[in-house]
Structure 1
Amino acid sequence: LLSEKLICADETTVQVLREEDRKAETKSYMWVYRSGEFAENPAVIYDYQPSRAAACVKDFLTGYSGCLLTDGYSAYNTLEQVTQAACMAHARRKFTDAQKASPSKKAGKPEKALSYIAKLYGIEKQAKNLTSQARQQLRKQQA
């Protein structure tokens, strides 16, 4: 996985009922790392950790120097040799949350942002079966 150009990472809470020296109610974390969508040798690795500390991701990704696609959680920003990339699904969720929270029924900034994101998703759908060069060209032309 560490030899890939792109790694996608996210973490989520898990509850472990019987773990030495920890209460069953204690939050633990499953850190998930996977290769990018177009990797020749796809891989997914689940890394159980008792915390969400930056040290967890630092230890796991030691020596990695590619692109890291994440939700923007600050622990990922502690990695010095990676190029950070933001997950569009996580960014989109912020706008759908803002849209739901808005008392106004008329279109505003969240709707405008969601419209742009929908266009980008459409371009990605077109690009899915293209070669990496053709995909890059399509993105440059239309995104």
Structure 2
Amino acid sequence: MGRCGVALQPLVDALKQELLTQPVLHADETPLPMLKPGNGKTHRAYLWSYCSTPLSSMKAVVFDFAESRGGKHAELFLDRWRGTLVCDDFPGYEALFKSGITEAGCIAHARRKFHAL
């Protein structure tokens, strides 16, 4: 499996580079169990997903595995990208919005913001 991952990494890197040319992206993070080596127990890791919009001519999703849900993972993935990010109300995205990325919440996010008013 490791060899396959290494062989496919250039393709993933090229897809990520192309995805980051899009003006609008969707992002989400999904928890998944990860076996902690040496102790036989699992802990919560995250699979971050970044995808183009349904209106984009390029349909793509890039998954980025991380051992935590820290917003630093989204910051590292998106790096210097500046566009509109569609995401939920997870506070980990806040630093991105302060750095110049435009926030566009999903429906549930918009409902929470509206009810808070």
Flag whether TM exceeds 0.5 (same fold): yes
Tell me whether 1:83 sits opposite 2:102 in the alignment. Answer: yes
More strand by share: 2
Give, in angstroms, the shift of residue 24 of structure 1. 3.0
- In 2, the alpha carbon distance for the partners of 1:6 and 1:48 equals 21
Tell me whether 1:39 sits opposite 2:56 in the alignment. Answer: yes
Q: 1:29 to 1:72 in 2, by over 3 A?
A: same
Q: 1:88 to 1:26 in 2, by over 3 A?
A: same
Unaligned runs of 5+ in 1: 95-109, 111-143
Comparing both chains, which one has the higher relative contact order based on Cα–Cα distances under 8 Å and sequence gaps of 6 or more?
2
What letter corresponds to residue 43 of structure 2 in structure 1? T
Q: Is the 8 A contact 1:29 1:52 kept in 2?
A: yes
Deviations 1:44-97 (A, max 9, x none): 0111100011110100000110000000111111111210011014545x6xxx
- In 2, the alpha carbon distance for the partners of 1:66 and 1:5 equals 5
Q: How many residues align?
A: 93
Q: How many percent of aligned residue pairs carry the same amino acid?
A: 32
- In 2, the alpha carbon distance for the partners of 1:12 and 1:50 equals 11
RMSD: 2.0
> Superposed, which structure 2 residues align to 1:50-129 within 5 Å?
50-79=67-96, 80-91=99-110
SS in 1 for 2:41: coil
TM-score by length of 1: 0.59
- In 2, the alpha carbon distance for the partners of 1:78 and 1:22 equals 34
Q: Is the 8 A contact 1:32 1:44 kept in 2?
A: yes
- In 2, the alpha carbon distance for the partners of 1:38 and 1:14 equals 29
Unaligned runs of 5+ in 2: 1-18
- 1:5 aligned residue: 23
Give, in angstroms, the shift of residue 6 of structure 1. 0.5
TM-score by length of 2: 0.71
